[in-house]
Each structure stands twice: as structure tokens, then as C-alpha cells.
Chains A and B, each alone.
Chain A
Amino acid sequence: MSQRTSIEQATVEIKTSNKGVFPYRFEYNPHKKTNSFIVPIVSTIVALILCAIFIVINGMNPLTVYGKMVQGAFGSSFGISETLLKATPLLLCALGVGIAYRISIWNIGAEGQFILGAIGATAVTIFLPNLPGPLYIPLMVVAGIIFGGLWGLFTAIPRTYFRVNELITSLMLNYVALLLLDYLVFEPWRDPEGFNFPGTPLFTPFQMLATIGGTRLNQGLIIAVVAVSVFTFLLAKTKWGYELRLLGANPTAAAYSGIKVNKHILLVMMISGGLAGLAGSIEVSGVAHRLMYGISPGYGYTAIIVAWLAKLNPFAMIFTSIFIGGLIVGGYSVQTIGLPSSMSLMLQGAILLCLIAGEMLSKFRLRKATGEE
């Protein structure tokens, strides 16, 4: 609530200061019903037109470029499988941060929790080299969830008991995780046969997730879709889901009605971190097949966008994660027709920026300033 009032106050100030200088004013209405499919479409089109200008300046046909982007990401079974492969970690991390955002816990540490999950899964392969083969995958998945969950707890405990802002701790822990990863792959876990390349030895076949039909797509996608279904159900149909909704709507009222706020925060942060950790363990066992430097190209951060584009709805995250995954895969594909990489990054950035800005701006209305209110 306090957030909302502060925004309203800010809008009032804008109104008064604009009077007389600019004959129109913006009116903010957070409750305004917007047409939920017009906004993203208009935003995407605006982004495409903006980028088209730069593409033309670069001497290429924008339609060719956009067509190649779509074709690269969705135009063949290879493209689709690679897009889904990119979407898997994004979906799991988005699910994780989304659950935390529902109760206004601003976890931006999915990147670190993802890395810890990858480290956890790899630890199984390093410290238990002689297990019976079929045990590896379940153990690696569980280790990933536990490592990620504990990393989430490092943020949750100071938050609940010492009121430390979780935005700062979760962000800072990302860097700690990154340095821990670098330490492990540069020193103790480095492949002794790898000519000092910063990565562990390749996993054995038992430590890799099975792939689907000759592509790199693996069981991780199925795990992710199951996770989405489970959480959609839990949030909609259980007492826990109800309490979370109450907590998200009004924490003070929830506390008065007997809901244990601290317990919920601890649990939610563990789940949030655990899901990102699960994504990390799937990335090493399913795709990279080793722990190496730069294991995450920013999945934990991109997932925040995926979650917000889906308005925190787990089911909608399936589509937004595929959309963003396609944007990344297609972004590389357009390079094959001669577009520099900076241009494809700009394209991705412009689409995201316009989508988010469109969402925000749709809550405003332009009105002629009459001087009365």
C-alpha cells in the first residue's frame, strides 16, 4: 500500500508542476483496466520499427533481418529445440523469482542460486565418483535444489530476523557465487587433462540428462513443465497458496489474521532458490556436461523479465520464457546474414524495453489540462 500512495503523490506533483507549461497532463491510474493483448503487440511493433531505422542505416533490409530472427528461433526443428533448450532454465528461474515477488520479497539473486545449483550437481560428480550409474541424476537434481535453496536462505534469514533488505543481499550473493564458481573451476575442480581450461572434466554418460530425438533438448524441459503445473496448482488450490496471496495483498492484515509471515518468507525464499538451483543442475547435467566458467549467460537476471512479462502467472511464464529464449537464439541467427552482434543485442533490448514501458504507459492517460481538479 505504501508504495502505491507514494506513486500517487509523485503523480500529483507532476500534475501541478506541468500546469501552464504543457497543456496536457498525464494521469496515473494503477487500477485502470488495459486491453491485455493490445499493449504487448503495439509495444513489439514500436520496438521493431525503432530498430528498423538502425538496420536500414546499417544497409540491410529490416524484413530480412526479422524474418531470419523468427526463422532461426522457430523456423526448423533445430531452431525450436534450441529455443526450448534456452527457455528451460529461464522458465525455472522465473518460476522461482515469481513466487518470491508474489509476497513482495524482491529476490534478484536467481543468478547466484542458479550457479550454486550447478555447483551442487557437479559436487556430486566430484565427491562421489563411484556410485551406481542410475543414482547420479536424481542425486544431482536434489543437490542442485538444496544448494540453490540454501543460497536463497542466506538472503531470507537476515531479511526475517534482522530486517536486512533482501534486494541488496540477494544481489551481492550473486557476485559471491560467481567468484566461488571461478575459484572452483580455476583451481580445485579443474580438469587435470584440460590444459588448464577453466572447467571440470566432462561428465560420464550416467551424469548427463537423456536428450530427446537427436537434439540437445533434454529431460530438463519436462521437469520444468511439471514444476510449472505443480506450482500453478499449489498457488490456486491450497491453503498455502491462499496464505501467500493474502500475504502479497496485505502483509499487515495477514499477520493480524495469524499467518506466520517469517515462516512463509523463509520457505518461499528456499523454494525460490531451489528452483533456480534446479535450473543450474539441469544446465550442467543436460547441456554443458561440465561445470565451466561463465556457466550462466545471465539466466537469473533474464528470468526477472520473463516473470514480470508473465505478470507472475506461472502458466504464462511458459510462453514468455519461450519468447525470450527465441529472442536470444534468433539474435545469434541474424548474425549469419551479416548483422553485427551489437545490433542483435540492441534488437533484444529494444523489444524488452518497449514491452515493459508499454505496460507502464498503458496505465497513464493523456488529458487536456483544464486547471480544475
Chain B
Amino acid sequence: MKKVLGIFMILLLFMLAACSQGTTKTSESAKTEEKSEETTGEATETEEKELPKVAFVYIGVPGDGGWTYEHDQARKLVDETFGITSTTVENVPEGPDAERVIEELAQDHDIIFTTSFGYMDPTFNVAQKYPEVLFMHATGYKTAENMGTYQGRGYQPAYLAGIAAGMLSLNNKIGYVGAFPLPEVIYTINAFTLGAQSVNPDAEVSVVWSNTWFDPTTERQAAVSLLDQGVDVLANYQDSPAGIQAAAERGVWGMGNDSDMNEYAPETYVTNPILNWGPYYVDVVQSVIDETWKSEAVFYGFKEGMVELAPFGKNVPQEVQDAVEAKKKEIVDGTFDIFKGPIYDQAGNIKINDGETLADPDILSMNWFVKGVKGTIPAE
């Protein structure tokens, strides 16, 4: 009986496969027709050059309202700019599953953007196997002939958000929910704290780790644990606005990361860093079309437009907004450097000497908290 069942199931599957192959082909050809109609106008420019097939791997869902949302907005810009339909795979766990998804995409795509730190090794492994495919990995430190990496200087807007937090806090207790104790989160928290202390030397930033990028329930619990300690400004390095919403319920100022989260808590929202990947993604795809792409480790800030500061919430006082805007000008025109000494670590040891600035590799591997941060980085 089992055998009969097996044979029947296999037949059924083949039938389904056969039907669907027919339909996919027609839909694809329909798509290409549409495309050719659209592009006939500018056909002279791109002349018969085949457009690259682009794919994106996401850690969460575009509806997270944060990290993945911003990547998906950038994906839409790429699609509009080049008139292509790129492939996305969402909710991919970091680890073995990611490697399978990336390899499956590598079989029929030209450029693959893998948009989470933990995709680094899977991306690297697949890049070795598929030398003709280009890979762009966000926020990592490994590159290869056909694998580039990119990251936004999120610490620049984080410093500005910190200024706002320092001015808004009445009891000098600021909370920060961090995802993982990775350098990108650590330097963001450090810059935020330095910003807060620049206007409010007594400000302290309490950090808890949620150990997840995207899990609204856990993010909320982490936020509540800080709210229970009486913080009156709460920042979150998380993909969803769950922490901001938890803060809003108690009338506490809230900030997130990655994306404008104003709509989730309009009364209590302050501002936060935005990562704006769109223009860079368009440049990357354009460079592939022009055959000028080369493997790089990109670290862009305000100047290149990869980071932004979200518009202020409606209840943020004008003096706070003015102070932030003034500092922003200094950062953008390069007259102010955030990681410039003297800067001390939590134990009071000097980490950056007076007048010295931190080089990019030291920022990208930052593994210590500045003075005024309450919280620990898991020890060796």
C-alpha cells in the first residue's frame, strides 16, 4: 500500500510541475514583452545590453517597519530605475538555511544582496562556488573577488539622536535596547551616548541585549525591562517599532533605528538614524551594467547620503531640533568628528587620546563601551 501511495504522490507532483512549468514560461514571456515595450523608448541607450538579474535576501519581512523595510524601499528604487523585477526571499535565518537560499538564487541571478551580518559566511561560501555571480553583503567584514561589503556610518545620526535624548531626559536615565553585541550596534550606542553627554554630562545610557534582530515580542520585553527601571527616553537598535510603542504606552520618548518610525508613536517619537540604501544599490547595479563593478568595503555616511536623520516627532521642542540641526551641519561638512579624543571607556581608561580620531577599521571592530554606558558586552 505504501508503495502505491508513493507512486501516486510522485505522479501527482509531476503533473503539478508540468502544469506550472507551462504557466511560468508564459508569464515570463509576457513579462519580457512588457519590458521590451517599456524600454523601446530608451533602447538606443542600453542597446541590447541584457539587464542584470538582481536578488535580495532579507532577515525579516519588509513590513517590519525598520531594517528590512529600508532595504526593500531600496529594492523598489532599483526596480523602478532599471525597469526590472528583482527577486526577494524574506525571513531567512542566519546559518545553514541562508546558505541554501543564497545558492539557489546564485543559480539564476547576477547580483545578490544579502542584508544581514550573519549572512557573511554563507555568502562567502556561495561566492567561492559561483565566481561569475556578484555578491553584496551588508555590514560584514569579509570580501572576495566577487563579493563586496557595505555599511552606513550609522553612528553619525546616532550622535545627533543622542543630543536630542540628552536634552529631553529629565532624570538623566536613558535606555537603549541593543540587538546583538556586534560592533555596528556598539559604535551606534557609543555615539548616541557621546551625543547625550555633549549636552547633558550627567546622562547615563542603560543597555540591555535582546539577542534578536526581529522579534517584536522579545523586543518589547527588553524595552519594558528598561522602562521599569524608570528611563524617560528609550532608544532601540531593532528592526521593528515594538520598543517605541512600548515607550509610548507609558508616555516615554522613543527612538528606533534604520527607518522613520514616526507613525508608530506620533505623540512621543523623537527621531532616529535612517539607513538609506537606495542610491547606493542603484549605483551598484549601474556599475554592473557598465562592467565597472569592483569588490570594495564601502562605509558611507551623511556626505554620500547612505545615512539620514528621521524627521522629528511633532512634540519635540524647537530648541532641541535647532541644536541637532546645528551639529548635523558640522558633521556633514566634516568639521566635527564624533570619535575624537579624549574618550574614556566604562572603567575610565583613556581609549582615544586627546586630539586623536579613530580610524575606520577601529570603528568597525569596536568592542568597548564609552564612559556613561551602563551595561556589559559579553566577556571573552
B315 at the interface (CB under 8 A from A): no
* Cβ contact of A70, chosen from B6, B17, B380, cutoff 8 A: B17
Instruction: Give the contact-size bracket for chain B.
Output: 35 or more
CB contacts (< 8 Å) of B89 on chain A: these are 332, 335-336, 341
Find out whether the CB atom of B90 lies under 8 angstroms from the CB atom of A340: yes
Q: Which residue of B lies closest to A297 (CB)?
A: B93
* Complex alpha-carbon distance, A75 and B107, angstroms: 13
* Cβ contact of A190, chosen from B88, B99, B107, B380, cutoff 8 A: B380
Find out whether the CB atom of B121 lies under 8 angstroms from the CB atom of A202: yes
Find out whether the CB atom of B96 lies under 8 angstroms from the CB atom of A287: yes
Q: Which residue of A lies closest to B120 (CB)?
A: A197
| A34-42, A155-163, A225-233, A265-273: which lies at the interface | A34-42
* Complex alpha-carbon distance, A202 and B118, angstroms: 13
CB contacts (< 8 Å) of A283 on chain B: these are 96
CB contacts (< 8 Å) of A186 on chain B: these are 181, 211, 378
* Complex alpha-carbon distance, A280 and B121, angstroms: 20
Instruction: Give the contact-size bracket for chain A.
Output: 35 or more
How distant is A1 from chain B, measured CB to nearest CB, in Å?
A: 28
Within 8 A of B (CB), among A257-307: 283, 287-288, 292-295, 297
CB contacts (< 8 Å) of A127 on chain B: these are none
CB contacts (< 8 Å) of B23 on chain A: these are 61, 63-64, 67
How distant is A242 from chain B, measured CB to nearest CB, in Å?
A: 23
| B8-16, B195-203, B231-239, B270-278: which lies at the interface | B8-16
* Complex alpha-carbon distance, A342 and B211, angstroms: 23
CB contacts (< 8 Å) of A292 on chain B: these are 94-95, 118
Find out whether the CB atom of A67 lies under 8 angstroms from the CB atom of B19: yes
How distant is B282 from chain A, measured CB to nearest CB, in Å?
A: 21
* Cβ contact of A198, chosen from B16, B90, B211, B365, cutoff 8 A: B211
* Cβ contact of A187, chosen from B2, B103, B379, cutoff 8 A: B379
A66 at the interface (CB under 8 A from B): yes
* Cβ contact of A336, chosen from B16, B91, B104, B181, cutoff 8 A: B104
B 1-29 to A, binary, CB cutoff 8 A, 1 in contact else 0: 11011101100110011111101100100
Within 8 A of A (CB), among B353-380: 365, 367, 377-380
CB contacts (< 8 Å) of B21 on chain A: these are 67, 71
Find out whether the CB atom of A78 lies under 8 angstroms from the CB atom of B6: no
CB contacts (< 8 Å) of B91 on chain A: these are 341
* Complex alpha-carbon distance, A316 and B6, angstroms: 11
Q: Which residue of A lies closest to B61 (CB)?
A: A341
B337 at the interface (CB under 8 A from A): no
* Complex alpha-carbon distance, A342 and B91, angstroms: 9
Q: Which residue of A lies closest to B109 (CB)?
A: A336
Find out whether the CB atom of B100 lies under 8 angstroms from the CB atom of A196: no
* Complex alpha-carbon distance, A192 and B27, angstroms: 50
Find out whether the CB atom of A195 lies under 8 angstroms from the CB atom of B96: no
Q: Which residue of A lies closest to B14 (CB)?
A: A70
Find out whether the CB atom of A195 lies under 8 angstroms from the CB atom of B104: no
Find out whether the CB atom of B24 lies under 8 angstroms from the CB atom of A337: yes
Q: Which residue of A lies closest to B5 (CB)?
A: A37
Find out whether the CB atom of A196 lies under 8 angstroms from the CB atom of B104: no
B183 at the interface (CB under 8 A from A): yes
B12, B16, B377 — which one has the most chain A CB atoms within 10 A of its CB? B16
* Complex alpha-carbon distance, A337 and B367, angstroms: 41
A 45-84 to B, binary, CB cutoff 8 A, 1 in contact else 0: 0000000000000000101111110111011001100100
A-B contact pairs, 9 of them (CB 8 A): A67-B16, A78-B104, A195-B182, A196-B181, A198-B180, A283-B96, A319-B6, A335-B90, A341-B90
- 15 new A-B pairs (CB below 8 Å) besides A70-B16, A338-B87? A36-B2, A41-B12, A67-B24, A70-B17, A72-B104, A82-B104, A186-B181, A186-B211, A187-B378, A190-B378, A195-B182, A292-B94, A292-B95, A336-B105, A338-B88
